[in-house]
Amino acid sequence: MDHANYARWASIHFRDMKSLPSTTMNEFIHHKHWVLSKTDNKFSSIPFDQPLEQENKLVKGSGGVIGITQNPSALRKWMLSGPEISRLIDQFEDTCMDENEERQHPHHEQNLQTQKTF
């Protein structure tokens, strides 16, 4: 948790954001092209770097990648085949899912009782 390092770079980040063209800022602010929604649930968007980490977790599986980084050949194979395996798993789940089965599960706070309590 290198908070001091983040604090040092805040002014540079601010300058970079100010120097973006207005069309880019419009895309970020109004069209929310800086987040990704993996579901149709409200308020479930996540920053673009997080889905990449989630895909890496899926690719690694339960055994992890212990020792794979020491073997360049194995690492190369994992880097090439991992995303394809993840895509195939997603495609398989999509085809096997019942058409009547609803994919989205509403957030537990998206019900009338919770909103009344709030």
pLDDT in tens, 48-99: 778 777 777 766 665 566 667 778 888 888 778 877 887 888 888 788 876 5
Domain count for the chain, please give it. Answer: 2
pLDDT in tens, 90-113: 888 788 876 555 555 667 777 788
Residue numbers of the domain that contains 8: 1-33
> Are both 29 and 59 inside the same structural domain?
no
> Are both 53 and 26 inside the same structural domain?
no
Residue 104 lies in a domain: no
> Are both 29 and 50 inside the same structural domain?
no
> Are both 23 and 64 inside the same structural domain?
no
Residue 116 lies in a domain: no
Neighbouring C-alpha atoms within 13 Å toward the C-beta of 107:
11
Contact (Cβ atoms closer than 8 angstroms) between residue 107 and residue 42: yes
Residue 40 lies in a domain: no
